[in-house]
């Protein structure tokens, strides 16, 4: 394997005692740190009607991040395409590509990003949610047509071009936590990111199947894949485990529909876990890598080898902003990122 590249997905988590505005400012600070440290790309997510996650509009947030950084690739992880017009998404990301050429990734997914009721508010109260999911492959095809100016004669959208007209094309990724998303990515000739932080099982097979079925396109002539996982790194294994209590509880509360914000480690350690809770916490560790630099580096390399990828994307966790930044700093040091970079 070549030198492992590292990237970051940030969900703009809202820690207890902080506001959504402060959470978004923390995302900006983390992106600036990633830019300085030599990470390959920095993505932001899309969630709706969530007290614990502040990022609802990746396109708007990306414009700010791009203006506050100078080198790193920036992208959506991801735009939830079933809610929107493929044409408008193409225009949004062509605008970003025009303003920040060669630095924009368009990651798209088909998850609702919230409750079914919230999804209806996004699409319109009369919208059929299942129809939206069924239309996803056609939406992906339309999106790629608009991005590459390849609407064929006789197509319903013949003569329509997404503006602004630019030479470059955002790098397109399909995101998912199942093999089906890999199928869509291979059919579209797009890159594929498997969300191991959502589903800790089956990802390796999904990526292998994606590569095997990949169809070259105007976007990519060869398949490109990465994997995304929760990571918390501290100076020692023991300190990482202590800080990870906030991480463990956050994921558990999301599963139970109780998540309102990340709690400090002290409160997380004092939480009244049931036996079922403790089982879920142990099981959820398959989606996380926790430890000091040596342990985390070894496990990230093992993960990359199992997926046969040369890039891993991390979701840095913890209650304190300093914990998330420190994770990124320790990983950059352990992997020798940013050598020679001058900002």
pLDDT digits (tens, 9 = 90+) for 155-191: 999 999 999 999 999 999 999 999 999 999 999 999 9
pLDDT for 120 beyond 90: no
- Percent residues over pLDDT 70 in the chain: 95
pLDDT for 46 beyond 80: yes
pLDDT digits (tens, 9 = 90+) for 246-292: 999 999 998 988 877 899 999 999 999 999 999 999 999 999 999 99
Q: Taking residues 112-117, what's their average pLDDT?
A: 75
Determine the pLDDT at residue 295.
98
Any idea what DSSP says for residue 221?
S
Give the other-Cβ count within 10 Å of 333's Cβ.
Answer: 14
Residue 21's nearest CA partner among 69, 78, 61 is 61
pLDDT digits (tens, 9 = 90+) for 310-342: 999 999 999 999 999 999 999 999 999 976 454
DSSP 99-127: HSTT-EEEEEE-S-SS-HHHHHHHH-TT-
Element (H, E) at 10: strand 5-10
Rounded CA separation 19/54 (Å): 9
Torsion 71-230-193-80 (CA) sign: negative
Structural domains in the chain, CATH included, are 5-335 (3.20.20.30)
pLDDT digits (tens, 9 = 90+) for 4-41: 999 999 999 999 999 999 999 999 999 999 999 999 99
pLDDT for 121 beyond 90: no
Contact 73, 106 (CB under 8 A): no
pLDDT for 129 beyond 60: no
Q: 316 forms bridges with which residues in the sheet?
A: 231
């Amino acid at each position: 394997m070549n030198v492992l590249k590292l990237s970051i997905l940030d969900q703009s988590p809202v820690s207890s005692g902080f506001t959504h505005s402060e959470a978004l400012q923390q995302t900006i600070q983390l992106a600036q740190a990633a830019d300085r440290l030599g990470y390959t790309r920095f993505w932001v997510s899309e969630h709706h009607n969530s007290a614990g996650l502040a990022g609802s509009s990746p396109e708007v947030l990306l414009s700010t991040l791009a203006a506050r950084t100078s080198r790193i690739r920036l992208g959506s992880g991801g735009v939830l395409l079933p809610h929107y017009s493929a044409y408008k998404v193409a225009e949004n990301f062509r605008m970003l590509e025009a303003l920040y050429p060669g630095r924009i990734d368009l990651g798209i997914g088909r998850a609702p990003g919230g409750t079914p009721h919230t999804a209806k508010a996004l699409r319109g109260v009369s919208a059929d949610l299942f129809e939206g999911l069924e239309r996803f492959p056609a939406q992906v095809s339309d999106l790629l047509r608009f991005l590459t100016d390849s609407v064929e004669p006789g197509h319903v959208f013949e003569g329509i071009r997404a503006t602004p007209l630019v030479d470059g094309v955002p790098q397109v990724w399909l995101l998912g936590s199942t093999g089906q998303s890999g199928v869509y990515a291979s059919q579209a000739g797009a890159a594929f990111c498997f969300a191991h932080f959502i589903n800790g099982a089956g990802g390796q097979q999904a990526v292998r199947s994606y590569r095997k079925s990949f169809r070259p396109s105007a976007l990519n002539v060869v398949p490109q894949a990465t994997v995304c996982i929760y990571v918390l790194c501290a100076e020692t294994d023991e300190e990482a485990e202590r800080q990870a209590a906030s991480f463990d509880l956050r994921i558990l509360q999301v599963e139970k529909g109780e998540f309102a914000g990340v709690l400090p480690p002290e409160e997380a350690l004092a939480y009244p876990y049931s036996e079922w809770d403790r089982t879920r916490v142990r099981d959820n560790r398959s989606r996380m890598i926790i430890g000091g630099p040596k342990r985390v580096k070894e496990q990230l390399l093992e993960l990359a080898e199992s997926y046969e990828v040369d890039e891993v994307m991390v979701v840095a966790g913890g209650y304190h902003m300093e914990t998330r930044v420190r994770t990124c700093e320790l990983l950059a040091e352990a992997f020798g990122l940013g050598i020679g970079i001058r900002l």
